[in-house]
Amino acid sequence: MTNILHIDSSIFSGDGVSSTLARQFVDTLVARDPEVNVVHRDLGRKPIPHLDAERLTALNTPAEARSPEQARIAAETDGLVQELQAADLVVLGVPMYNFAVPTQLKAWFDHVARAGVTFRYTADGSEGLLKGKRAVVFTSRGGLHRGRASDSQTAFLTTMLQFIGIEDIKIVFAEGLNLGEVPRRDALAAATAELQALAA
């Protein structure tokens, strides 16, 4: 059975363009194989607290020495990591906000990038521990940014996913969504065709 971790990060929740594309992709996979198991996390509807000193201290405190509040924080983060560890395929819906990923998604990465758990440091540098997984990213942008200096998303997402060991990454772009009706229609049609091809 294939396990899919589907994460949306639009502040518009399931109504966002990136969320819609990601959902269409996952729904297509499920339609073709009903035994696929999907875990869906909507960061717009249920955001993860940002990593701060309190949360980092809780994670770095040995389990037996944690206060009840620290144990609760650690359990939340452990749950996020376990969802990721169990996934064969990670599907991300990622809109561009101010040239970057949504703050909600950054918070998720900050919690799942755990030294000794999802990556480790070696004499040769860092090594991702979540090997053998795939990631498909659906990113929506109002303007045109792919291949330009204004696209900080692609480098960030690729770097973070590779950092935790996910090397097989596909990014589907829906750009120019705010440039008029025709560019929007064409961008969505192209992204939909690409997601159907990926799901085939």
Predicted confidence at residue 167, as pLDDT, reads: 97
Predicted confidence at residue 88, as pLDDT, reads: 98
Q: What is the mean pLDDT of the chain?
A: 96
Cα 172 from Cα 190, distance rounded (Å): 9
The predicted model scores a pTM of 0.95
pLDDT in tens, 62-94: 999 999 999 999 999 999 999 999 999 999 999
Short-list 7, 6, 14, CA closest to 30: 6
Q: What dotted CATH number matches 3-199?
A: 3.40.50.360
Residue 36 sits at φ, ψ, to 5 deg, of -60, 135
**Which regions of the chain are under pLDDT 50?**
none
Predicted confidence at residue 42, as pLDDT, reads: 98
Hey, where are the domains in the chain? 3-199
Task: Return the residue matching tokens 């799901």.
Answer: 199
Cα 11 from Cα 102, distance rounded (Å): 8
